Every structure is written in C-alpha cells, then in structure tokens.
Amino acid sequence: MTSPCFSSQQLSAILAALPDPVFILTRSGRYAAVFGGSDLRYYHDGSGLVGLAIGDVLEPEKTAFFLGEIATALHGGGLHIVEYTLSGSDVKGLKKEGPDEPIWFEGRVQALAFQVDGEDAVLWVASNITPRHELETRLREQSETDPLTGLANRRKLMTALQQHFELFSRYRTPATILTFDIDHLKHINDRHGHLTGDRVITALAGVCRDELRCNDIPARFGGDEFVALLPQTDRQSAGAIAQRIRQQAQRVFAQLGIPGVEATISIGLSEFEPADTAFDNALERADNALYRAKEQGRNQVVLS
C-alpha cells in the first residue's frame, strides 16, 4: 500500500493537530516555529514565542538548561530525552489560558538534518507528563515510608546510611547512629491490646519528629525498633540528643494515660569510625549498645 500524498494545506493541518507542542529551536535558542499542543487543558498557547529567543522569555538559569539540552541533542544526533518542570508564569508573555499549576514535561529532542535560518536546529516535543510524574513521586514516597508512623522505612534508611557512610569515608564527615527500642512493648500489647501498642509506637515517632533536626533521618526499622541517622553530629552531641529523646518519650508515653503502664525506651549509640568498612559495622555497634542498655535495666542511653 502506498502512503497517501498530502497537500501542503493538509500537512499544515496535521502539524496543527499534533497533540503535544512541537518547537523548532535553533542552537542559539531561537523559537523558529511552534506546532500543535492546542488543548488548553494541558498546554499554554506557545505560538507567540515564534521569532523570540529562549533568553527573552525565561530566567537565565532555565535558559542555560534549555541551551545545554539543545547542544547535547545536536552533539549526539539521536533522540535525546529530558524531564523538566515549567509553569506558565515562568514564560514571559504567554497568554493566561492554560494550566495554572507547574507542568512536568518530557522533552523528546531530535537534531534536524538541515539548518534553520542558517543555524543547526532541533525538533523539541514537549509532552505533559504531570500525572505520571505525580504517580511516580507518590509511589516512591510510599515505598520509602513506614505506613504506621509516616517515618522513613528500613529501605530508605539503608540508602541514607550508605550515602552518609560514603561521605564519611571520603571526607570524614561525622555521623551518628541511634538505635532505640520500646521497653516491654509485648507486655503493653498483651495487657492493653495491639492498638494501644500502636499508639505507643506512633507517639515515639512524634517524639523523633519533634526532637530531631530536619536533616536527621529517623526511621522505623521494624516492630518496635527505630534507628535514627544523625549526619554531621559527633558522639557527644548525639549523646545529649539521645537523652532528650529518652526523657521526652517517657513524658509523652505517660500522657497517653495507659493504666498501669510506665512505658520507656532504651537507646544504643554509635558513630562511623575510620576502621569501619561498611555502615553495618556502626549499625552493629549501636545494636550491641542497645542490647547492653536493655541488660542494664532499660530506660537508658548506652554509647558504644
């Protein structure tokens, strides 16, 4: 079957009907042409950009980004794919109609085999991938979050431990690990039910949020065991923080008003050391310190 022969009028109509906007951009960042993307639920009307340069309508940092991506696509010659975010208000002079929220785009950028107005040029298809991007973000957050407490889960903590151990190995940036565990949670569960045990676990997560800094990473490691990574913190400062968490946990647990129960936590503390070959070494020391805190009577902090 031979392909149909379109008139130039029909070809123009096809280009105008392209669902996603397509830009012809020159190496210097000039909008040579804009086609398609006319559905204002997904895109702003970009037809007013033709003849302007990216630097005329975007701030310098974003301009540098787009020029860099155009150069990469021209250099590679093949299809170059890039993700970025842009809102209508980022682009000077765009008409108001169109989405209000920032849009996540997938740019599919292809070098053209001919020059446009004496310059190398690319064809840039900008697809609105906001719903997909939001879903991916939500799924990633869910996969890294403990559902009961909303804290980081073991998986996220492991990634953070690895990253901070690499920083320590390279630059000796200190970091401390606290492992803590609710004392006699089994007794609380047995006596008052699992939901009451859950309230104690959730209350401890609240203490972590209140007492730790925003760049600390508290995580529920499993069951009633929590681990917190304290970057840029030496053993001495971490010891004081651990005592504060222990005391505050005791106060907050008492406020839960569980009859006949005086809940507490035990804490083990360790820091990365030059002889460590992996973060597991420090984690194991913190675990051993926690074990000693339990053995010595609970409701205390033990430094490894």
Beta bridge partners of 129: none
> Under the criterion CB under 6 A, does residue 49 sit at the interface with ligand GTP?
no
Which of 92, 155, 186, 209 is in the footprint of ligand GTP by CB under 6 A? Answer: 186
> Under the criterion CB under 6 A, does residue 197 sit at the interface with ligand GTP?
yes
210 Cβ contact partners less than 8 Å away, ≥ 6 residues apart: 248
Which of 155, 194, 209, 213 is in the footprint of ligand GTP by CB under 6 A? Answer: 194
Q: Give the rounded distance of the alpha carbon of 226 from its chain centre.
A: 21
Number of residues that bind ligand GTP (CB under 6 A): 17
Residue of 130, 54, 48, 59 lying closest to 95 (CA atoms):
48
Which of 181, 211, 271, 276 is in the footprint of ligand GTP by CB under 6 A? Answer: 181
Strands 301-303 and 265-271: parallel
> Under the criterion CB under 6 A, does residue 184 sit at the interface with ligand GTP?
yes
CB of 196 to ligand GTP, least distance (A): 7
Residue of 135, 112, 136, 134 lying closest to 122 (CA atoms):
112
CB of 291 to ligand GTP, least distance (A): 9
> Under the criterion CB under 6 A, does residue 198 sit at the interface with ligand GTP?
yes
The burial of 293, by beta-carbon neighbours within 10 Å (0-12 exposed, 13-18 middle, 19 or more buried), is given as buried
Q: Scanning residues 199 to 258, which ones bind ligand GTP (CB under 6 A)?
A: 201, 223-224
Instruction: Name residue, tokens 């559905």.
Output: 39
69 Cβ contact partners less than 8 Å away, ≥ 6 residues apart: 80, 82, 107, 109
Q: Scanning residues 51 to 110, which ones bind ligand GTP (CB under 6 A)?
A: none
Kindly indicate which of the ranges 81-89, 195-203, 211-219, 232-240 contains the residues binding ligand GTP, using the contact rule CB under 6 A. Answer: 195-203
Nearer to ligand GTP, 270 or 300 (CB): 300
CA distance 15 to 145: 45
Residue nearest to ligand GTP (CB): 197
Q: What is the largest CA-CA distance in the chain?
A: 88
> Under the criterion CB under 6 A, does residue 182 sit at the interface with ligand GTP?
yes
What is the full DSSP assignment across 139-193? HHHHHTB-TTT-SB-HHHHHHHHHHHHHHHHHH---EEEEEEEETTHHHHHHHH-
> Under the criterion CB under 6 A, does residue 152 sit at the interface with ligand GTP?
no
Residue of 250, 184, 176, 254 lying closest to 218 (CA atoms):
176
> Under the criterion CB under 6 A, does residue 185 sit at the interface with ligand GTP?
yes
Kindly indicate which of the ranges 2-10, 49-57, 134-142, 197-205 contains the residues binding ligand GTP, using the contact rule CB under 6 A. Answer: 197-205
CB of 165 to ligand GTP, least distance (A): 26
Nearer to ligand GTP, 62 or 184 (CB): 184
Q: Scanning residues 7 to 36, which ones bind ligand GTP (CB under 6 A)?
A: none
For binding to ligand GTP (CB under 6 A), which residues are involved? Answer: 148, 181-187, 189, 194, 197-198, 201, 223-224, 294, 298
